[in-house]
Amino acid sequence: MSRIDVCVAACADLFLGAGEILASPMGLIPQLGAKLARLTSEPDLLMSDGEAYLLGEYGIEGWLPYRKVFDVVAHGRRHVVMGANQLDRFGNQNISCIGDHDKPTRQLLGFRGAPGNTVNHRTSYWVPKHSKRVFVPKVDVISGVGHDRGFHNVHRIVTDLCVLDFATPDHSMRLVSTHPGVTVEEVLDNTGFPLHTDDAGTTREPTPQELELIDKLDPDHARN
């Protein structure tokens, strides 16, 4: 078992209790997590192929071109796992640009769907490299909306080191668990703001059955 398999299982656990909603995982690890959840705890999840189809157990089960994705976003039966170039302690996220918006030092993707996602439905984040570059005291441009700005459905953040959530009185970020072999200090050293760490546990390891499924889902080990 490798660290990345722990991350996949942690991404699968993002969808616990989700039921019959659209899972929209961005990036390989969240995608493997959502597929693993569908094969284990959440068989009713819907998933798109990243183009225009819903792919079920037996192939295409629905049509979901981009304009219908916006319908689902507004309807709210969706849990997106987005990436983040920057995140602050209330879960505000930046994927737009670094620096001054009028003349950025680095142009990124743009707001994309982050503002709409975060005010309409549950949102989680996947951060492949937990660092102070990502976890900053203040994001340069608020794309995804955090807990201090009137919206309260930023669920969890899974990183290569740990799992984080916002289950604190003021909805600031809390360390839920460190992955096996990672210390709390290591997480704090790579985070640009204070974290609640009192109840931090250890992220669960995937079961043998889950490991087998992950290998089937990613036989070429693209995840490593």
Partner 1 sequence: MTVRDKRMSAAEVAAELSDGMTVGIGGWGSRRKPMALVRAILDSPARDLTIVSYGGPDVGLLCAAGKVRRLVFGFVSLDSIAYDPWFQRVRQQGGIEVSEYDEGMLYSGLLAASHRLPFLPIRAGLGSDVMRVNPDLLTVRSPYDDEELVAMPALTLDVALVHLNRADRHGNGQYLGPDPYFDDLFCLAAKRRFLSCERIVDTAELDGPPQSLLTNRMMVDGVVETPNGAHFTSCVPDYGRDEKFQRHYAKSAADEELWPSFVDQFLSRGETGYQLAVQGMS
Binding residues (CB under 8 A) for partner 1: these are 51-53, 63, 65-67, 70, 73-74, 96-97, 101-116, 118-120, 141-145, 149-151
Compute the least distance from the CB of residue 185 to partner 1, in Å: 33
Least distance CB 95 / partner 1 (angstroms):
9
The torsion of the CA quartet 88, 120, 95, 27, rounded to 10 degrees, works out to: 100
Compare residues 128 and 205 and give the one whose CB is closer to partner 1. Answer: 128
Q: Considering the complex, what minimum distance in angstroms separates the CB of residue 33 from partner 1?
A: 21
Residue number with CB closer to partner 1 (116 or 211): 116
How many other C-beta atoms lie within 10 A of the C-beta of residue 153? Answer: 18
* CB closer to partner 1 out of 115 and 192: 115
Q: Minimum distance from CB of 170 to partner 1 (Å)? A: 17
Select 70 or 181, whichever has its Cβ closest to partner 1. Answer: 70
The distance of closest approach from Cβ of residue 62 to partner 1 in the complex, given in angstroms and rounded to an integer, is 12
Q: Is the dihedral of CA 47, 94, 156, 122 positive or negative?
A: negative
Short-list 90, 96, 93, CA closest to 110: 96
What DSSP line would sit under 121-160, residue for residue?
SEEEEEESS--TTTB-SS-SS--B--GGGT---EEEEEES
**Toward partner 1, which CB reaches closer, 64 or 214?**
64
